[in-house]
Each structure stands twice: as C-alpha cells, then as structure tokens.
Amino acid sequence: MYIELKEIKGKHYVMLRHEASKMNVDGTIDEITKEKPVAQFMSSNPVEAYNVARQFAKQNKCLIRATKGGIETPEVPIPPDLFEE
C-alpha cells in the first residue's frame, strides 16, 4: 500500500493505492488488479494536500508517491448531505 499525491490541472489529489501483483512460475511479475483511483482528499493548495498525504502515510505506515498529470482524473466521493431534511 502507498499514498499517491497527484497533481492534475492545478488540483492536488490524495489517494490510497494498493499494489496487487502475482509472481509467475518463470519469475516475472504480473499486476493483477487495476482499481479506479478514488481520491480521499482534494485541494488546490499543494501544502495542504501534502500534509494530508503525510498524515495518511503516518497512520498506515507506508510511503508517499508524488506524481503529476495523467489521463484519468480520480473520482471524488460525495459525502452524504447531513443537513437535508
């Protein structure tokens, strides 16, 4: 598991990522899962996004991978509206 901090079009996304792989008999490694990226946090402030990524990494005892760009924009979960009656 690792934390991915990705910058796309001025927005910074923090995502929890899992590396799932399988070793073949001949010693090669195949990546077996390609999950759709889901952002746990999004900000236009790079320092704020880095601080959140650092906290996630500290809690999960894993590393942070910082990337830029990409084809696919991560999904951002929509929180339930708690104030709607």
- Which pLDDT does position 16 carry in this prediction? 86
Neighbouring-strand partners of residue 21: 31
Whole-number percent of the chain with pLDDT over 70: 68
Sheet holding 39-43, edge to edge: 39-43, 11-17, 2-8, 63-68
pTM of the model: 0.70
**Residue in 25, 23, 5 with CA at minimum distance from that of residue 15:** 5
Contact yes or no for 48/13 (Cβ under 8 A): no
**Of 81, 45, 58, whose CA–CA distance to 2 is shortest?**
58
pLDDT digits 0-9 by tens, 19-58: 655 555 665 655 555 667 788 889 999 999 999 999 999 9
